[in-house]
Amino acid sequence: MNKRHFIQTAAALATLAAMGSAQAQTPIKFQLDWRFEGPAALFLQPAAKGYFKAAGLDVTIDSGNGSGGTVTRVASGTYDMGFADMAALMEFHANNPDAPNKPVAVMMVYNNTPAAVLALKKSGIAKPADLNGKKLGAPVFDAGRKGFPIFQKANNIGSVAWTSMDPPLRETMLVRGDIDAITGFSFTSLLNLEARGVKAEDVVIMNYADNGVKLYGNAIIASPKMIAENPAAVKAFLTAFAKGAKDVMANPAASIESVKARDGIINVPLETRRLQLAIDAVVASPDARREGFGQVVPGRLALMASQVSDAYGTKTRVDPAKIWNGSMLPATADLNVLPPAKK
């Protein structure tokens, strides 16, 4: 074989190998819980860096409009995997016991629920007990509102009155004084209040996690069909995600570029701050450090299942054994992604 023929043959083999690799890419349709905001970098960064592709996956990431919708779309088969609140997942299971394709959580990302009650200091509300008899506001599907009976019981709060509104009006109504307090994700509502002219130091934030409510937050979910047919692809996704999440937590500011690439009109400083708040509050929280990133503790999950069954008034009781499948989690070393604890 002459040199020229050798080079041509090698090139042809390389092309065939590349084609084979391309054909071997497993497609995964993934839906977020919300819009392309700061925390979405946890998923968009590994995609932008090619980690999913290197793992043999062709991942499509779409924005969402709430955890409930994400759970439903994975259940319907429209999406293979998604990012959703554990309470919303539990509610779906318990209210649809005969559904043929109930999604399950395969990796914990928000070890604590981001849900919080927020009030303005000028209202005189400083602690949970001060909410007794007050007017609270949130959309009817808000995770904090739906889980409020758990917060209420943990803090011996008496009756409250609820006002419902669309999400964009929540913080506006609090600033106007139409309501005394709101429920929402802490890192979203605080920044929304600041955007309406309120200083951070004038806001009282009562995080559920700091007030006796140890609910898990958002997890990566997958359809039973995908788990049954291609568990290796699920594990590959989780391993690539963990690698990207480590990058994001090491340098949140740089990773926001992956979000801007998907939504060019985002406020970069604002979304960088939102991402950092999310990391500090729920991703690298003290509970996450104790339990290990990606993991759940069976006893805590069982307690949450019982609390959600009661607070949400589900048709059947939530069975924690059917909610979680940790068999595809990456190796321990690959889950070592949390940044050093802040002193």
Query: Taking 90 as the threshold, does the pLDDT of residue 138 lie above it?
Result: yes
Give me the architecture of the 3-112+216-335 domain, per CATH: 3-Layer(aba) Sandwich (3.40)
314-334 b/e with 16+ CB inside 10 Å = b?
A: beeebebeebbbeebbbeeeb
pLDDT digits (tens, 9 = 90+) for 21-58: 445 799 999 999 999 999 999 999 999 999 999 999 99
C-alpha distances (whole Å) from 88 to each of 113, 138, 221, 305 are 12, 16, 11, 11
Same fold for the pair 3-112+216-335 and 115-210: yes
Say what the pTM is.
0.90
The amino acid that residue 312 corresponds to is Y
CB atoms within 10 A of CB 16: 10
Where along the chain do its domains lie? 3-112+216-335, 115-210
pLDDT digits (tens, 9 = 90+) for 167-200: 999 999 999 999 999 999 999 999 999 999 999 9
Give me the architecture of the 115-210 domain, per CATH: 3-Layer(aba) Sandwich (3.40)
